[in-house]
Amino acid sequence: MNSPNVPQTPGPVVGPVVGVVGAGQLARMMQQAAIALGVELRVLANSRDESAARVIVDTRIGDYRDLGDLSDFAKGCDAVTFDHEHVPTAHIRALVDDGLSVHPGAEALVHAQDKAVMRERLTEIGAPCPAWARVSELSDVEAFGEEHGWPVVLKAVRGGYDGRGVWVCASADEAREVVDSGVPLLAEAFVPFERELAVLVARSPHGQGVSYPVVETVQKDGICVEVIAPAPGLAAEDAAAAQRVALRIAQQLGVTGLLAVEMFATTSGLVVNELAMRPHNSGHWTIEGARTSQFEQHLRAVLDLPLGSPSPTAPVVVMVNLLGGPDPDVFARYEHVMANDPGIKIHFYGKDVRPGRKIGHVTALGTDLDEVRARAWHAADCLRGPIDV
């Protein structure tokens, strides 16, 4: 007999199964899109407490670094994709050899996993990059600084995110500690950018590509804090050029699924910063702000379905990230934020609130840039918690 107190799991699946390796907020937001499409999402989580594991019935617990766990997880999936970029390349190849449909594939994904491989390939295909070099000794950094000037930006070749793994070094002295840590590094010329832009494109296995409007992203301490769509004041021909660069990278690298291209806008044109091959923070605005959200688009692409319209739903859309503040009880402040501005959309990822951690975001839509930005920032500031004065 079934007891009402014992959780029951559903019977056989009724739609295509998409396996997502990783169970952070990106997988969680993919679930919203999967519900509407009747796609069955399965996630590989480290624990049932992770953001997506809390809301996805078919959560499997395992280690993505273990090929056995990964193969068991992927069995029976119509497509396999990722919430993060850390799955070893050889494991992805092994899944493909087993006949699984994995998007993006290993050959494409390595460009989002390894910043030196990315720079090599972008240079090869003629995409605009800062001067760069692999460095292993302090003397390599010194030589690079001599040639291209200081500061020199050192980056961990693998594993960095949210600015962890990026060091702006004003001198060889500052670089010493980073080099001594033994982390494999590349050096980049410091780009004195006017602002940062991002272009999100989707490419399906049958080769269809679409681009979302170019957005402006604002980083603080290496973490994205705000995204403005479309990028204010960007000339139509510059926006089209940025979209062309992103679509060309997707095509040349054989990306399937989403590709986010982070760029620097400089007085002498665009420079590509880095690539991500999954839903991206610079695309969260699309949930309410575009006809097809990035999460739906990613599911369409990995299932090789026709892509959806990326058209915006409002003239101005602003997304502000919610970083953990002093008071963990974010929900207690919903009442004020919602009453104050019924148009604000709150996204809260079900993660533990820790200072500085990305725990959610808010989105505001409208017509006047200053007004929409002010609304989004007010909501995020209130949710973050009382500020001591």
Interaction partner, residue 165 (ligand ADP, Mg ion, none; CB < 5-8 Å by kind): ligand ADP
261 labeled part of a ligand binding site: no
CA–CA gap between residue 114 and residue 126 (Å, rounded): 18
Residue closer to ligand ADP (CB basis): 61 or 223 = 223
Interaction partner, residue 222 (Mg ion, ligand ADP, none; CB < 5-8 Å by kind): ligand ADP
Burial pattern 364-386, b for ≥16 Cβ within 10 A else e, equals bbbeeeeebbebbbbbbebbbbe
Residue closer to ligand ADP (CB basis): 161 or 377 = 161
Q: What is the smallest separation between the CB atom of 163 and ligand ADP, expressed in angstroms?
A: 5
Residue closer to Mg ion (CB basis): 50 or 196 = 196
> How many CA atoms are closer than 13 Å to the CA of 188, on its beta-carbon side?
24
345 labeled part of a ligand binding site: no
Supply angle C-alpha 257, 103, 303, rounded to 5: 70
Residue closer to ligand ADP (CB basis): 154 or 287 = 154
46 labeled part of a ligand binding site: no
Q: What is the smallest separation between the CB atom of 248 and ligand ADP, expressed in angstroms?
A: 20
Interaction partner, residue 153 (Mg ion, ligand ADP, none; CB < 5-8 Å by kind): ligand ADP
CA distances from 366 to 200, 312, 373 (A): 21, 11, 9
Q: What is the smallest separation between the CB atom of 387 and ligand ADP, expressed in angstroms?
A: 25
191 labeled part of a ligand binding site: yes
CA–CA gap between residue 213 and residue 238 (Å, rounded): 11
CA distances from 175 to 13, 162, 172, 181, 189 (A): 54, 20, 5, 10, 14
Which residue ranges make up the site for ligand ADP (CB under 6 A)? 130, 153, 155, 160-163, 165-166, 188, 190-191, 196, 219, 222, 262, 273-274
CA–CA gap between residue 212 and residue 258 (Å, rounded): 11
Q: What is the smallest separation between the CB atom of 188 and ligand ADP, expressed in angstroms?
A: 4
Q: Which residue has the tokens 């079900």?
A: 350
